[in-house]
Amino acid sequence: MVKIGLYEAKTHFSELVDRVRGGESVLITRHGEEVARLVPPIRKAKTKSSFEEAVVRWRKSRSGLSLRGTKVRDLVNEGRR
């Protein structure tokens, strides 16, 4: 982790962002006291297959839903009239 003073951080902000983009973390201090950290974002790899699986599970869960014999789809359609 790079430790840098606030004034220098302001002066070289673009360079610091490039370093963070490359995976480094930067600790910004003011008069020796930590005031901020620049860290790379957490990137979660979402695969298309997991999204598709979620859609399939959602569709299965809503199929056949009813309220005392009345299907949810019928209630929705009635509300649109």
What is the reported pLDDT for 48? 67
* Model pTM score: 0.53
Burial class (CB in 10 A: 0-12, 13-18, 19+), 19: middle
Residue-range domains of the chain with CATH: 2-38 (3.40.1620)
Each residue's pLDDT tens digit, 24-65? 999 999 999 999 999 998 877 666 678 888 888 888 887 776
What is the reported pLDDT for 3? 95
Three-state DSSP at 44 gives coil
Burial class (CB in 10 A: 0-12, 13-18, 19+), 20: middle
What is the reported pLDDT for 47? 65
Of residues 19, 26, 20, 21, the one with CA closest to residue 2: 26
**What is the DSSP secondary structure assignment for residue 35, as one 8-state letter?**
E
